[in-house]
Amino acid sequence: MAGSDTIREREKIAKEIAKTSESIRKKHRALRTGKIDDDIAVKTHFRPIIEPLQKIVDNSIAVKNEPNTDVNIKTLPIKRYAEEEEEEETPKKRKRLHAKRELPRMRDILKLHTLDASQHELPITATPLPTSVHPVLPKTLEDVFETSGDTLETSVKNMIPTPEGQEALREHFGPLGQKYMGALLGGDRNKKIDHVYGVYFDKNEMRLGNKRFDIDKDDTIIIDNVRYIGTPGLYELIFKRMPDDEIIYKGNDLEKYKSILLATNAHKHKYDAQGHLRSNRGYKYRYIIAPLMSHESKKTKSGRGVSMPRTMTLSDNKIDYVHWD
């Protein structure tokens, strides 16, 4: 009795070895043909169906192959196959393949589902809306020079002397912008930049008066989203402490500068429209700003008794004394 149990146990081990060898060869061929991914997907999604079928197949095989106590272990040789040879189909394998053929592959199910969904889709009859084209806004100075925790003024002045800073200056500004902004950002070593009525830094932006200031790559001056055509004369008036007369009086640069002053209040105390003029003895105020604003103040005066007689006004004209007897 003990001998038959030993033989049965050895037969069971031999069957397990044969089954394992068959499984290894099967997976090797599946890997080579690229079908293992499909099998994994089918097993994962159809496990509730596959497992009961597999149990039925295994039970039927177990009934047919009931072990005999008189069978010697030598009657169950393990057939070896080369990796390149095709394996003969055993009854057990044919049943498993037949069971698998009963199950639809995942790719076929997805294809069928997609085809069915496309049949129920409504045809597109509406005309597609045209894609709106947004204007490309110019880069601001903050976008060109990284602040890295410092103020924009500090970051820009530290970067301008470097090759990277010079390259950024050339990429962001046109010829006029490079000349005047380079002088402003480079530290104004020649003391030619106007720091009273001109462009200045406020936190992380440039300003002129009480308005945001920027320059486009084509030298267009942008003040609070209003664009002014940049000319050499207008740049001189905005940036220079003593603008060049020969450049200023070309075209209508003075009228443009006057409108910019009125829009930004750069000439007013605390940049307030109701504030008084920031007068001084400098060249720019005496010969440019004061004459422009004097014409403006005369236009605003109205009413009886507002203006003084001309003989009572103070002027710089030389007094011509006449001797009376």
Residue 140 phi/psi, 5° resolution?
-85, 170
Q: How many Å apart are CA 213 and CA 21, to the nearest integer?
A: 80
Burial (CB count <10 Å: 0-12, 13-18, 19+), residue 186: middle
Higher pLDDT, 109 or 220: 220
Higher pLDDT, 128 or 216: 216
pLDDT, tens digit, 9 for 90 and up, residues 286-313? 999 999 998 666 555 554 444 444 444 4
Is the confidence at residue 83, as pLDDT, over 80? no
Amino acid at 289: I
Both structure tokens of 225: 């989203």
Enumerate the domain spans of the chain: 10-59, 190-294
pLDDT, tens digit, 9 for 90 and up, residues 258-279? 999 999 999 999 999 999 999 9
Dihedral (C-alpha) 211, 215, 220, 226: value to the nearest 10 degrees? -20
Amino acid at 77: P
Q: Region 242-257: what's the mean pLDDT? A: 85
**DSSP line for 88-152:** PPPHHHHHHHHHHHTSPPHHHHHHHHHHHHHHHSPP--SPPPPPPPPP-PPPPHHHHS--TTS-H
Label residue 142 left, alpha or beta by phi (over 0 means left) and psi (-120 to 50 means alpha).
alpha
Contact in structure between 154 and 187 (CB atoms under 8 Å): no
pLDDT value, residue 64: 56
Please report, rounded to a whole number, the percentage of residues in the chain having pLDDT higher than 70. 57
Helix (H, G, I), strand (E, B) or coil at 293: helix
pLDDT value, residue 151: 64
Q: How many Å apart are CA 19 and CA 30, to the nearest integer?
A: 16
pLDDT value, residue 170: 86
Contact in structure between 247 and 241 (CB atoms under 8 Å): no
